Amino acid sequence: MKSGKKREITAERQGFQKILDDPVKMTLVSFVILTILVFGVFSNTFKNRFTTWDDIAVYNDTLIRTPSLKNIKTIFTYHRGSTYQPVRHISFMLDYYLCKHNPFCYHFFNVVYYLFGVLFLYLFTERLLYFLGPWGPPKRYLIALFSTIIFAVHPVHVESVAWISARKEGLLLWFFCASLYFYLKGREGGKHAVQMFFWSFVAFVLAVLSKPSAVVLPAILLLFEICHNPKEIKKFLAIIIPSIVVAGIFIAILMTVMKEAGGIKPYRGGTFWTNFLVSFFIFLNYIKLCAATINYSAAYTIWLPSHPWSVWTFLAILINLFILWIGIRNYKKFPLVTFLIFWFYIQLLPYSNIIPISTILADRYALLASFSYTLLVGIFFVWLMCLRHEKFTKEFFKVLSVAIFVLLTAGYSYMTIKQNRVWHDTRTLWMDAYEKYPHAPAAQHGAALVFMKIGAYGVAKNILSETIKIQPYDYLAHNNLGICYFHLKDYKHALKEYETALYYDPKNVKVQINMAMLFTSMGKFRKADKIYAHLLKQHPGNSNWHLRRAYNFYKWGKYGLALKELRTCIRLTPHVINPYEVMAIIYYENLHQPRLAIQALEAGLKNAPNSPRAKEVKKKLLAIRKAVSGE
């Protein structure tokens, strides 16, 4: 019996060794394992809903609702003051075509794109180890698999997958890793080298069209060449130059977009140099996010010294310089360590706040940077697996390594599944963030929106007042605080907050509309109309603004002008029922023409039979008909 068991164990080991020795079989097995893990830990996001962060990118985006060449051309055309992520928008167009506004499709494809990224990350890792590592095929495949498993289930990636609008992160991971993999395949030489370099460039372009921060890829390619063989840089520079040119163009676009959208903020500390010192704390916090955080959140509060030139600042600088020194010192002996350390810093440069942006720290920004951590973890486990000591049996360290690895994977998977539930909807997301980090402006924004949605404007007002104390330049906080004052009938303070918001962001359309609505409520109809006229001069096809202007004329008593705006609104959006309803009110209650009111309501029901307001409109129609028949 014992000899039979030994033969079975020996056969299993030989079978496992055959898989390790066969790159095709090892890749297939790895892909199966990674697919099961990714869907296993992220499948509970399929029941999640849209959040407030998804409104602009998905729910209110009319372009994604019609897969036409005209809309696709518009998506790929750069527009002032808006983000430029056309590949993400095209992917949302596919989601809407399949499922309309059912969030299941959006979450499902987020997981699929993340999986594609993970699979290409495995391929890239294996090739990277081939060029920069000292390991042969079996160890190389194991390191690639172990590290990619840790990457696949790491809880810092939840935001990149569970947040629908973060689709750009999954697409970025996919195309970024694909570009690197094809580049390394081209570096191997052979008859397909030119083809591989071509696909590397195509994947890079798709990466920057998914998220412009992919512009760091040429720097990663140069880093690889320096670590592999600096003498060959000139030889491969011609291949990298097209990517550098594309990166330069998109850096200009990224800076323009962020500036126009209010993404670039004032320097924290007042000057570039004081802000530069802050970035050293941010790098350390991202190390913590990758390796030591347990309270993951949609928003964070990070500790910064009250004075930028404090002892703590110099300590942060020294820690970062020490890490970089390790990379430089090991450049010749361990080039892979050098590559991973500088990879981490290069990936975080766009988010380091050297140029101050609206978000200081976010899980999604750690997506590609975390590769440095996960690969080092994979190397550690394979090193432990191969360790031998005379005091222990031959199998001891293998069993120990696998046991610890399984525990770590299980722990990360549990944290990921738990964090997925936090992203279930707007309420769960922001109340969790506000509970964990009550002084984080983003968490305060989110919590305030939750309270505003349930009508608790007093509570929201108090939260937003705290936000403004932390970030006086936050135009969004001023705008939302103005909305709270508006609903609390404190028009004086509402106007003050809107004016402050426009001071920091003069072209913000939402704030201008809110101010116009406030003027209407205050009886300052001429001022309200001036805003609407200005906006419609720039965008005459905006049906919603015509409707709001019509309401302002209605309250002003200028019924003829109101009807004119409503007719324009109906011409632009005949399948929206609201203009018909307002028109009927004017005809029936103000102009005393019930038959025209009936015609307006009948036209509304004919053109918008499935509107949520259809039942109420039918009741109004029956009431007017009854009143007319009784005359």
355 with 212, same domain: the answer is yes
Is the pLDDT at 43 greater than 50? The verdict is yes
Those residues with Cβ within 8 angstroms of residue 303's Cβ, 6 or more apart along the chain or in another chain: 281
d(CA 372, CA 248): 25
Is the pLDDT at 243 greater than 90? The verdict is no
409 with 465, same domain: the answer is no
**Window from 82-96, 209-223, 247-261, 578-592 with minimum mean pLDDT:** 247-261
474, 497, 522 - which closes a domain: 522
d(CA 199, CA 186): 10
For residue 38, the surrounding DSSP H or E stretch is helix 23-42
Is the pLDDT at 56 greater than 90? The verdict is no
Please tell me which residue, 455 or 313, carries the higher pLDDT value: 455
Domain membership flag for residue 280: yes
Is the pLDDT at 505 greater than 80? The verdict is yes
d(CA 419, CA 41): 10
323 with 464, same domain: the answer is no
The model's confidence at residue 1, banded by pLDDT at 50, 70 and 90, is very low
417 with 503, same domain: the answer is no
% pLDDT > 90, the chain: 65
The model's confidence at residue 493, banded by pLDDT at 50, 70 and 90, is very high
**How much is the CA Rg of the chain, to the nearest whole Å?**
29
Is the pLDDT at 204 greater than 90? The verdict is yes
DSSP β-bridge partners for residue 264: 357
Q: What is the mean pLDDT of residues 239-244?
A: 84
Q: What is the mean pLDDT of residues 407-425?
A: 96
Is the pLDDT at 262 greater than 60? The verdict is no
On whether the CB atoms of residues 452 and 443 are closer than 8 A, the answer is no
Q: Dihedral (C-alpha) 171, 175, 178, 184: value to the nearest 10 degrees?
A: -140
457 with 400, same domain: the answer is no
Q: What is the mean pLDDT of residues 283-303?
A: 91
The model's confidence at residue 256, banded by pLDDT at 50, 70 and 90, is low
d(CA 176, CA 186): 16
Q: What is the pLDDT of residue 352?
A: 86
The model's confidence at residue 448, banded by pLDDT at 50, 70 and 90, is very high
Q: Which domain holds residue 443?
A: 438-522
Count of domains observed in the chain: 2
106 with 187, same domain: the answer is yes
Is the pLDDT at 2 greater than 80? The verdict is no
Domain membership flag for residue 574: no
Q: Quick one: which of 5, 31, 35 has its CA closest to 19?
A: 31
| Residue 536, amino acid | L
The model's confidence at residue 85, banded by pLDDT at 50, 70 and 90, is confident
Per-residue pLDDT of 581-596, as tens digits, reads 999 999 999 999 999 9
Among the residues of 188-310, which ranges form H helices?
A: 193-210, 217-228, 233-260, 272-291
Tracing tokens 């997301």 back to the chain, one arrives at 429
Per-residue pLDDT of 494-504, as tens digits, reads 999 999 999 98
Domain membership flag for residue 620: no
88 with 227, same domain: the answer is yes
Determine how many CB atoms are found less than 10 A away from the CB of residue 543. Answer: 17
d(CA 213, CA 173): 11
Among the residues of 49-102, which ranges form H helices?
A: 69-75, 86-99
Q: What is the pLDDT of residue 500?
A: 96
416 with 461, same domain: the answer is no
Determine how many CB atoms are found less than 10 A away from the CB of residue 397. Answer: 17
Domain membership flag for residue 529: no
Q: Quick one: which of 545, 462, 473 has its CA closest to 502?
A: 473
Domain membership flag for residue 569: no
Q: What is the mean pLDDT of residues 213-219?
A: 92
The model's confidence at residue 399, banded by pLDDT at 50, 70 and 90, is very high
Q: Quick one: which of 427, 455, 430, 450 has its CA closest to 441?
A: 430
Domain membership flag for residue 411: yes
Q: What is the mean pLDDT of residues 312-340?
A: 93
The model's confidence at residue 55, banded by pLDDT at 50, 70 and 90, is low
Q: What is the pLDDT of residue 270?
A: 60
Task: State the CATH number of the domain containing residue 512.
Answer: 1.25.40.10
475, 500, 522 - which closes a domain: 522
Q: What is the mean pLDDT of residues 299-314?
A: 82
The model's confidence at residue 38, banded by pLDDT at 50, 70 and 90, is very high
220 with 318, same domain: the answer is yes
371 with 462, same domain: the answer is no
Domain membership flag for residue 55: yes
Is the pLDDT at 81 greater than 60? The verdict is no
Domain membership flag for residue 31: yes
457 with 391, same domain: the answer is no
Q: What is the pLDDT of residue 292?
A: 86
499, 522, 545 - which closes a domain: 522
332 with 468, same domain: the answer is no
**Window from 55-69, 176-190, 541-555 with minimum mean pLDDT:** 55-69
